[in-house]
Structure 1
Amino acid sequence: MADVAGLERLIEPEIKSLGYDLVRVMMIGGASDPTLQVMAERPDTGQVDIADCEKISHRLSEVLDLADPIEGSYRLEVSSPGIDRPLTRLKDFTDWAGHEARITLGEPRDGRKQFNGELVAVDGETVRLRAKDGLEHDIPFRDIASAKLVLTDKLIQATAPLSTEGAETIETVEE
């Protein structure tokens, strides 16, 4: 399997030079069908469109072809983090405070590895989460194996497209 940290070091400066922020780099799929998944966003909107993904994909294809950091063949997938986005940086937890998240720890804490609730704040290197029962949990960022937003009506409203131009031309077909 490829060195994901090394891939991040190779990819991030390229993404930055195009004016985007890197959200996540991940190898998915098995050895027979690997995919290099790259998630990026515009720093001002947290969104990317198809043209952005195409621009990033072209640049990364050139860089990856030259550096050849992945043995064998693979697919490159460039995408938006999506509405129920992964939270990979401390900044993400701050940016999405007030929204629900699911945090999975690398090692169990108090007999559990998963915490669900509202992101309250980030204090230094610690993420504070308020569970539905009102209890707050302080979780060291270094202990988080994965985290993502939970799809809620509030999140849908907060991530509505910045432009609805052309929405009136969308046609609904009934079968």
Structure 2
Amino acid sequence: MNGSVTSQDLGEIFKPIVESFGCELWGIDFNNSGRSRLLRIYIDKTERPIDVKDCEKVSRQISGVLDVEETISGDYVLEVSSPGIDRPLFSIDQFKMYIGSKISLKSRIQKEGRRKFNGVLKKVDAQNIEVEVGKVDYVFPHSNIESANLISDY
């Protein structure tokens, strides 16, 4: 592969590796622009929190695969971590898990002159999510969501 590799392409490669360590691939954030390219892989576990050893094992294995297969050309930084308390949301299923929670969302397209919205996640379906900001409900097609993450109450 070359520099045009997508997060989806990487997910197909990484998912079996992550699962072999008893973890779930939560998501991939690949900043493939500029001089400092960052490949951030989020892993999670249901039975206990992710620890440094989990991240280290997964990182070592993924690094080896990336080096051998030359999946990503050029220099980049690989980071494996837990999604944390302000976890990013990547998939429809992840959004559904957090209906009723506060989220921060960045849209690819402006709505009412802005792209950033903080509010309560109200609805999720196959095409859209709905976020209540103040007393106004905003609907975002999944394809227009650049990024989203939980907002913790702590």
The answer as to whether partners of 1:2 and 1:27 remain within 8 angstroms in 2 is no
Which structure is higher in strand share? 2
Deviation at 1:13, TM superposition (A): 2.6
RMSD: 2.3
> Where does structure 2 lack aligned partners over 5 or more consecutive residues?
none
Higher Cα Rg, which structure: 1
* C-alpha distance 35-126 of structure 1, shift in aligned 2 (>3 A): closer
Distance of 2:119 and 2:58 partners within structure 1: 34
Partners of 1:119 and 1:47 in 2: how far apart? 24
Aligned counterparts of 1:101 and 1:82: Cα–Cα separation in 2: 14
Q: How many residues align?
A: 151
Distance of aligned partners of 1:123 and 1:110 in 2 relative to their CA distance in 1, 3 Å threshold: same
Partner of 2:16: 13
Q: Secondary structure at the match of 2:17?
A: helix
| Structure 1: runs of 5+ lacking an equivalent | 154-175
> In the alignment, which residue of structure 2 is the partner of 1:3?
5
Q: Which residue of 2 aligns with 1:167?
A: none
Q: Distance in 2 between matches of 1:129 and 1:46?
A: 30
Compared with structure 1, are the counterparts of its residues 69 and 118 closer, same or farther at alpha carbon in structure 2 (3 Å cutoff)? same
Question: Which of these residues, 83, 86, 94, is aligned with residue 84 of structure 1?
Answer: 86
**Paired residue for 2:76?**
74
What is the CA-CA distance between 1:29 and the residue it aligns to? 8.1
Query: Equivalents in 1 of 2:48, 2:107: separation in Å?
Result: 25
1:116 aligns with 2:104: no
Give yes or no for the alignment of 1:55 onto 2:27.
Answer: no
Corresponding residue number in structure 1 for 2:25: 22
The TM-score, its normalising length taken from structure 1, stands at 0.73
Instruction: Output the CA distance in 1 between the equivalents of 2:47 and 2:108.
Output: 30
When the two structures are superposed, what TM-score results if normalisation uses the length of structure 2?
A: 0.82
Counterparts in 2 of 1:33 and 1:103: CA distance versus 1, 3 Å: closer
**Residues 145 and 32 of structure 1, relative CA distance in 2, 3 Å threshold:** closer
Of all paired residues, the percent bearing the same amino acid is 30
Matched residues in 2 for 1:26 and 1:116: separation? Answer: 21
Q: Is the 8 A contact 2:103 2:121 kept in 1?
A: yes
